[in-house]
């Protein structure tokens, strides 16, 4: 029995805003997705070009500007964040205590993306 390979990829944009989707980092993610598809990962719905993928993400009819529901792929609790980020305390001086005020619903860190 063959098992399906699954992988989640997060696209980072800074400052956090739809207007920053499409940076060089995002285009690298597109290249990685194409390589993963060649290696047998299921990347169902992968569009032909990085531009088409960007267009699909930023013009998603379900996405809403200035909304905590803007293409949220994952809600990460503060405990999980702290366990995955051993230097979290050092970041608090500049970013404040988690979950923070940016990319947060007040209880969780919001990881934006599209499945």
- Write the pLDDT tens digit of every residue in 22-32: 565 556 777 88
**pLDDT value at residue 80:** 96
Question: Phi and psi at residue 33, in whole multiples of 5°?
Answer: -60, -40
Q: For the chain, where are the alpha helices, taking DSSP H only?
A: 24-38, 50-58, 78-84, 88-95
For residue 76, the SS3 value is strand
- Write the pLDDT tens digit of every residue in 44-103: 778 888 778 777 766 665 555 555 556 677 899 999 999 999 999 998 988 889 998 877
User: Under a CB-based contact definition with an 8 Å cutoff, are residues 110 and 103 in contact?
Assistant: yes
**pLDDT value at residue 87:** 92
Mean pLDDT of 14-43: 71
Domain boundaries, the chain: 7-59, 66-115
Cβ neighbours of residue 104 under 8 Å, at least 6 residues apart? 68, 110
Number of other residues whose CB lies within 10 A of the CB of residue 112: 19
DSSP state of 108: E
Q: Name the pTM for this structure.
A: 0.55
């Amino acid at each position: 029995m063959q098992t399906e390979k699954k992988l989640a990829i997060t696209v980072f944009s800074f400052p956090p805003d739809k207007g920053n989707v499409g940076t060089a980092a995002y285009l690298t993610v597109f290249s990685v997705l194409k390589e993963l598809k060649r290696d047998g990962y299921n990347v169902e719905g992968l569009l032909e070009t990085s531009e088409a993928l960007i267009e699909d993400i930023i013009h998603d009819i379900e996405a809403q500007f200035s909304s905590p529901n803007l293409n949220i792929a994952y809600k990460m609790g503060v405990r999980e964040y702290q366990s995955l980020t051993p230097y979290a305390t050092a970041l608090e001086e500049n970013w404040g205590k988690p979950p923070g005020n940016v990319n947060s619903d007040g209880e969780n860190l919001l990881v934006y993306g599209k499945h």
